Structure 1
Amino acid sequence: MSKKAEYKSAIRSRKMIRHAFVELILEKDMEKITIKNIVDRAEISRGTFYAHYADIYAVIEEVEDEIMGKMVEFLNDFKDIDLVQNPMPFLLKIAHFLDQDIEFYRMLIYTKGASNFITKLKEVLIEKILSYKETIPYIQKHEEFTVRVHFFVGGLVSLYQDWFAGKFECSLEELTSLNSQIMIQGFQDYTLK
């Protein structure tokens, strides 16, 4: 088998394992999920599972690390002021990332552990954006900026959760555009020199 085929096979196997795991979490408590449950659902062998993960917790860790890593990577692609002046490119990167496996992320939002993960995700985003307040020279009211960052990150995450839950009939692109407009208006005081 060529290296490219092996690589695609490994990606496919990990994706099948992750999907099976999330489907099972929707059905029963995580503590009751076994590797046998996952391999049966994913229709793979135990050897395939162990070729990619040491245990069930490694699956969770990989999903969380991947999402958090992508968010930080996307944030690092922008200069501090660029993100505040125009969050649309950042939000489009998030939308594109989610769109690559939308059903997986939709299921993930409904799992019992999702609230802990969402809290961690918000903390990472807030910490990264707050680091900008030292490099944007015309932020005079640091506490006000901090409150706005918390407000917008919390609202942003909540809106995406609600979109996944089907509470909005707009497309992911429309939601992204609306979020960007709201954030631009909310951070307008910090974009004027």
Structure 2
Amino acid sequence: MTSEKTDRRVRKTRKLLIEGLTQLLKEKSINEISVRELSDLVDINRGTFYLHYKDIFDMLTQIENDLFKELDTLFSSHSVKELKSSPLPICKDIFRFAQTNSELFQIFLGPNGDSAFVNRTKELVRQHCYHNWQMIFSPCDTSRFAYFYSFIISGWIGLLSDWLDTGMQESIDEMAHIAEQIVFSGIDFIKCEKA
């Protein structure tokens, strides 16, 4: 068997498993899902599952790691100079990424979700954006900037979650403009008051 056929088969099996896990996570928490249940749902034997993952938690971790690699690449593709002129391109990219991975994001941010996923998302954004935003917005009071930043990141996650939960009725462009306006509306909070 050629490597290409093997790779295709591996991708197909993993895709089936991810779709099955996604379906189950819509109904129950990760702690309530067994390998047997997932394998039966996607019609593969458990041995095939174990060729790819150690257990359900390993599978979830690998899915999250893949998402975070893509998010890391997304944030790295935008320079400080670009963000200073307009955060709109990165806003669009974030909403596009969330739309592409909407089912997983809805699950991770939903009632059966993973609080570690939210915290890891905040940390990834902090690594990429905190210093850059300080340079862009030049706050006089760094403690106020820390509050502003925390508020904006939590707001972003809430905005994404609501957009996904309501069926993504607004376009990516509309949501990116809304996010940009919310960020810029809060800028006055961290600016120095003039005497």
Q: Same fold (TM over 0.5)?
A: yes
Q: Residues of 2 paired with 1:133 and 1:169: CA distance?
A: 29
Mark the CA change 1:12 to 1:167 in structure 2 (over 3 Å): closer, same or farther.
closer
**1:40 paired residue number:** 40
Structure 2 gaps, min length 5: none
One-letter amino acid of the counterpart of residue 132, structure 2: Y
Corresponding residue for 1:63? 63
TM normalised by structure 1 equals 0.79
Counterparts of residues 70-81 of structure 1 (less than 5 Å): 70-81=70-81
Q: Distance in 1 between matches of 2:138 and 2:105?
A: 38
Structure 2 counterpart of 1:150, which letter? S
Which residue of the partner structure matches residue 21 of structure 1?
Answer: 21
C-alpha RMSD of matched pairs (Å): 2.9
CA contact (8 A) 1:87 1:180 kept: yes
Give the 3 Å change call, closer, same or farther, for CA 27–180 of structure 1 in structure 2: same
Q: Is the 8 A contact 1:88 1:177 kept in 2?
A: yes
Length, aligned pairs only: 190
Structure 2 counterpart of 1:58, one-letter code: D
Q: Quick one: which amino acid aligns to residue 54 of structure 2? A: A
The residue number in structure 2 matching 1:3 is 3
Unaligned runs of 5+ in 1: none
- Range with greater deviation from structure 2 (32-41 or 22-31): 22-31
Residues in 1 aligned to 2:106 and 2:20: alpha-carbon distance in whole angstroms: 14
Matches of 2:167 and 2:13 in 1, distance apart? Answer: 32
Q: Does 1:115 align with 2:115?
A: yes
Q: TM-score, normalised by structure 2?
A: 0.79
Residue 137 of structure 1, CA deviation: 9.3
Contact 1:14–1:52 (CA under 8 A) maintained in structure 2: yes
- Structure 1 position 161, deviation (Å): 0.6
Instruction: Measure the CA separation in 1 of the matches of 2:119 and 2:40.
Output: 31
In 2, Cα distance between equivalents of 1:98 and 1:64 = 13
CA contact (8 A) 1:108 1:114 kept: yes
Return the alpha-carbon distance in structure 1 between the equivalents of residues 72 and 37 of structure 2: 33
Distance 1:11 1:46 in 2: 17
CA contact (8 A) 2:92 2:176 kept: yes
Tell me which residue corresponds to 2:49. Answer: 49
Residue 87 of structure 1: how far off its partner (Å): 1.9
- How big is the shift at 1:49? 1.3
Q: Which residue identity is paired with 1:12?
A: K
Deviates most, 139-148 or 28-37? 139-148
